[in-house]
A and B are shown apart, each in its own frame.
Chain A
Amino acid sequence: MVVISDIIVQGLQMLLVLLMAPLLTGFVRKIKARLLRRQGASMFQPYRDLLRLLRKEVVLADNASWLFRVTPYLTFAAIWVAAALVPTFATGLLFNWTADLIAIVALLGSARFFLALAGMDVGTSFGGIGSSREVMIAALAEPAMLLIVFCMALVAGSTQLSTVANFMASSYVGLRVSLGMAIIALIMVALAENARIPVDNPATHLELTMVHEAMVLEYSGRHLAMIEFGAFLKLLLYVSLIACVFLPWNIALFGTGPLAYAVGAGAYIVKLAVAGFLLALFETATAKMRVFRVPQFLGAALMLGLLGTLLLFVSRSF
């Protein structure tokens, strides 16, 4: 009986992230449009885009290999599984105990690995440019991310996200310098990983400046829908990650019943909205940086993560 309810709650969580992901992107786009004095498309436009893409025919290059066709589903699956591992409205769900934060980083890394390969598969110049830029960014973002994980693990004593979230929600934490560094670094990594300004521009029409978009330029139809959906999910994943680690208020503990879950879900949605608004605000106020500034930007994230970790070795109270 317990197992069944566990599975149901976990299923609900997976469904929730799936349903919320396009809405979060739509919300960010809407806020950005309003900040630019535009009316903007409806918040539900990403759902319509996905439906439209799913119904459309797939145009494949003649020399596209099986890898090119399989990659959209692979990346989507990997990101969805990773998103299911991050506590959203409640901690300690079934899947939370099966894998830790390092596994999440690995899942996202493999998703990107396949996408970068697929970008080069057809052999167009834009795919190559996009893949090389994406991998350059990833090569710097992933070490930074791992250092952030270590920093949090040293504070909370575990890399299990549920344990970390429960610890952060408790009163033992207080204000810590290392965690301050970790959150800044994590936000920087999240911006880079999700191809947001200032690292990449998700709304650009300039093919020469694209990073992520150039890599997936050859995709169409349901393949593109899967990749877009994966990107929506990834944004939601990072926001959830930041929320559950650094803002775990009102997150429900495992087994506290439907009411606590409902409160947790409400708080979660509020957190998403606040994060989405802040993201839109930041993107409106910043220009995109030169491609070669990205290593400096991510290098700063890496250093912050490293510093946070080192400080914890100096004293546990940092």
Chain B
Amino acid sequence: MPSLIDLMLEGRAVEQHRPWPRAVVDAAVWNFAARELAHGRWSLLGLWGEPTAVHMAIIDGQTAEIAVVSLDCPDRIYPSVGLHHPPALRLERSIRDLYGLSAEGLPDTRPWLDHDQWGVRFPLGGRIDAPPGAAPYRFLTAEGHGMHQIAVGPVHAGIIEPGHFRFTASGETVVRLEQRLGYTHKGIEGLMTGASLERAAKLAGRVSGDSTVAYAYAFSRAAEAALQLVVPDRAVWLRALLAELERLANHLGDIGAICNDASFSLMQAHCSVLRESVLRASHSAFGHRLLRDVIVPGGVARDISEEGAEAIQAALDNIRLRFPALIELYDNTASLQDRTVDTGVLTSALARQYAAGGTVGRASGRSFDARRSLAYPPYDSLRFEIPVLTEGDVNARVWIRVREVEQSLALIDQILSRLPPGPLGTHAAHRREPREGMAIVEGFRGDVLVWLRVHDGLIERCHLRDPSWFQWPLLEAVIENNIVADFPLCNKSFNCSYSGQDL
């Protein structure tokens, strides 16, 4: 069985790519890698384009080795990975929409992000004027007696992000769900091109509002890897504190929101109070409720305020006091358990195939957590557990969140007690030659991947990959044979990002 190192040796290694190797390969090796992905020996981490090249990040699940293979495609055509490995399908459709590179043999050639609203086609590649009157989007069909379609969204009855869901149902049972996303495409990768590091870090923090720390963290780590910056100790530890605060707040919100989707608003009321206490502590410690723009390349922008540590400690004490009773309530409410147990089961085979990160993967037996598997500092010197369950239902996803809340509480305690003194950041040395960096950071949804190339102090190309790319398709699989009315519950237990996916 070949290892990723062998794969790297097959191509021409790119020198200035850190911390993991990147090699430019030919089509045969590219195809080989795609088939290995399909056989499940490796997992797909990301697939992104440039005007005349495509890159694919691969992880070996056993050794946690990571490598990037690149294929030059001057003819704007490359062999499809999605043909062998379905998780790449939407990524390849997006590459076509943004760069105009076609995947040869791609089974699904419909546009994904391009809703024919931009006025141009291939905005990051050829930039040609969009031809008027594009063909309407075709949804996949399901045939059979008594099937009917239900179109939901993109404008929903509640205040949530926009996305269109097309159900084909037989009575109440869902036969097929098809998602259509891309309504919140903001062109962030286009804005990144040519931006200064400072501006790019701000942009990264605005990809998805609830993951602003994770994105800024991943972007900063990628930039630091490219420029070989050494982040001072205090900043390293403060970043982990910020990341855990974000995780804590989001998980608390999610646990309540999942219960609310089963019309059990009592849990949400109490969980919202706890989430609010975390947000207020964050505000008093770092001056922003969602901790936006605190992490910058080279370190952190602000130190924790004097009363901040106490405020965080008080919030933690409050959660420790109240959270166990809420969990008991969740566990003991039979009507709620009846809704969550055995609803929306994600098989571990699918979770593995799609390399689903975060709570979705860990509730279905995939134990990947970037904090442990890749052990970036300071997590290499912190004590924590990665909860893993195998049931894969809504209940399991709730319990993973519950356990992670407990772990985050313990982690914040450790970080606060061991916070080293020292400076908060370093300045980037000016480098003329192009340099590339990549980073993976565990956000509350899963692993956020950022890859970038810096040239002359400016971003030449930056790709941000949300964990939701590999979770959204699984939601389509999970809802099959469930009833239509259980979809909100499944959807909320996944809680994928629209904004991060649409970019």
Contact = CB atoms under 8 A, between A and B. Distances in A.
A291 B172 contact: yes
B488 interface: yes
B266 A36 contact: yes
B84 interface: no
Given A37-B269, A287-B339, A206 B262 contact: no
B255 to A, nearest CB: 14
Nearest to B156: A207
Interface in B308-345: 333, 335-336, 338-339
B483 interface: yes
Contacts of A37: 269-270, 273
Q: Which of B273, B485, B486 has the largest count of A CB atoms less than 10 A from its CB?
A: B485
A38 interface: yes
Nearest to A288: B263
Interface residues of B, number: 31
A26 interface: no
B36 interface: no
B149 to A, nearest CB: 7
Contacts of B484: 129, 208
Interface string B155-176: 0111100000000000010000
B148 A125 contact: yes
Contact of A287 (B159, B262, B269, B483): B262
B264 A206 contact: no
A119 B263 CA distance: 23
Interface in B233-286: 259, 261-266, 269-270, 273
Nearest to B336: A287
B191 interface: no
A98 interface: no
B152 interface: yes
B485 A208 contact: yes
Contacts of A284: 265-266
Nearest to B264: A287
B485 A290 contact: yes
Given A36-B265, A285-B266, A287-B333, A205 B158 contact: yes
A67 interface: no
B128 interface: no
A103 to B, nearest CB: 33
Contact of A38 (B151, B156, B172, B269): B269
A45 interface: no
A209 B488 contact: yes
Interface string A271-287: 00000000000001111
B263 A204 contact: yes
A287 B151 CA distance: 26
B301 interface: no
Interface string A193-214: 0000110010111111100000
Given A37-B273, A290-B339, A290-B483, A128 B263 contact: no
A291 B338 contact: no
A231 to B, nearest CB: 17
A120 B485 CA distance: 19
A273 B151 CA distance: 41
B492 to A, nearest CB: 9
Interface in B126-167: 148-152, 156-159
Given A37-B270, A125-B149, A206 B488 contact: yes
B164 to A, nearest CB: 13
A152 B374 CA distance: 70
A41 to B, nearest CB: 15
Nearest to B339: A287
Contacts of A291: 172, 483, 485
Interface string A78-101: 000000000000000000000000
B339 A289 contact: yes
Interface in A117-151: 125-126, 128-129
A126 B55 CA distance: 43
A125 B172 CA distance: 12
A292 interface: yes
Interface string A53-72: 00000000000000000000
B362 to A, nearest CB: 24
A51 interface: no
B43 to A, nearest CB: 32
Contacts of B150: 125-126, 129, 208
Contact of B487 (A36, A128, A208): A208
A53 B156 CA distance: 21
A35 interface: yes
A52 interface: no
A128 B333 contact: no
Nearest to B262: A287
A283 B431 CA distance: 64
Interface of A: 32, 35-38, 125-126, 128-129, 197-198, 201, 203-209, 284-293
Given A208-B488, A287-B264, A288-B339, 5 more contacts: A36-B266, A203-B265, A205-B157, A287-B259, A290-B485
Interface of B: 148-152, 156-159, 172, 259, 261-266, 269-270, 273, 333, 335-336, 338-339, 483-488
